Structure 1
Amino acid sequence: MTAFVVRRLIARGLLTELSGNPEGSLVNPDQVDAVCQRADLADLVAANTPLGPDQAAERLRVRRVEFDHMRALGWIKPTEWREVRYGMSRAGAVNVPMFTTAAVDALPEAHPEVDWEQLRSVGRGRRSPLAALVKAKQQEKEAAEV
């Protein structure tokens, strides 16, 4: 079980964080035993598995640009951000948004107004159907600020 999943179980109240260290978790062993005895443990871990934006788009079978539009529309928000380093230098470090598998899997059902098959068939170099929604949302936001 990854630290990401442990943090999700803490957030759901299934485990209690006993440490004040933001870099790690210390949890009650009795609670860990209880969680490990759950019949739905595999599903619980699978639902709380972390996905980066590229993985989330792949899981939805859409292009990354469609997933980025979903984020811009507020349909999904990162559960947390993780620093990813390239090479040995921190100069190449970037913060990557992480999403739970369950949140990504819930998107099609949460947005039945979207023709998901059409969205999945948009070819490379073609404009996303979600782009117009993002533009409309930006215009509404600008109008509200005036």
Structure 2
Amino acid sequence: MLINPDQVTALCGIEGLAQRLADEAPLGPDQAATRLGVRRVDFDYMRDLLWVRPAERREVRFGTSRAGAVLVPMFTAASVDALPGAHPEVDWEQLRDTGKGRRSPLAALVQAKQHQDKEAAVV
């Protein structure tokens, strides 16, 4: 593939390019949880609460057959990084310190949301 030097120069001249690329970096759910320093189950609760939504879904194949393919939600790094600031009501230190096998502090929030959703559906 040939690279046009003028295009490279123009691209490099975009102000804040490195940060824009970093913000748009795709993260799978496991990567997002790791980036936040929380367990995967806690990140899944954040999704259930609609605090973060996938920017896209990518097909990931296991093995050589298409039967082993799954769609994996991908989140932007910026949307993941924004979660603590967007939800100061959460004790993020406590959330990060919750050990394996312990109930997530977010579980009660998800349960309350589900209860509200059911009540709203009845009305």
Tell me, yes or no, whether TM beats 0.5.
Answer: yes
The one-letter code sitting in structure 2 at the alignment partner of 1:140 is Q
- The Cα of 1:34 is off from its aligned counterpart by 3.8
Q: Which residue of 1 aligns with 2:89?
A: 113
Residue 88 of structure 1 pairs with residue 64 of structure 2? yes
- Which amino acid in 2 is paired with 1:44? R
Using the size of structure 2 for normalisation, the TM-score is 0.90
The alignment-based identity, stated in percent, is: 68
Aligned partner (choices 32, 55, 64) of residue 56 of structure 1: 32
Greater RCO (Cα-Cα under 8 Å, separation 6 or more):
2
User: Structure 1: where are the runs of 5+ without partners?
Assistant: 1-29
| TM norm structure 1 | 0.76
3-state SS of paired residue (2:108): helix
Aligned pairs for 1:24-43 (under 5 A) are 34-43=10-19
Instruction: Tell me, yes or no, if structure 1 residue 131 matches structure 2 residue 101.
Output: no
Spell out, residue by residue over 1:3-52, the C-alpha distance to the aligned partner (whole angstroms, 9 max, x if none).
xxxxxxxxxxxxxxxxxxxxxxxxxxx88864431231111111110000
1:104 to 73, 80, 83: 80
Q: Which residue of 2 aligns with 1:76?
A: 52
Distance 1:78 1:128 in 2: 22
Alpha-carbon separation, structure 1, partners of 2:38 and 2:28:
14
* 1:46 equivalent among 22, 26, 35: 22
136 and 101 in structure 1: CA distance in 2 versus 1, 3 angstrom threshold: same
Q: How does 1:134-145 map to 2 (within 5 A)?
A: 134-145=110-121
User: AA paired with 1:53?
Assistant: P
Q: Distance in 1 between matches of 2:12 and 2:46?
A: 34
Gaps in structure 2 of 5+ consecutive residues: 1-5
Of 84-93 and 30-39, deviating more is 30-39
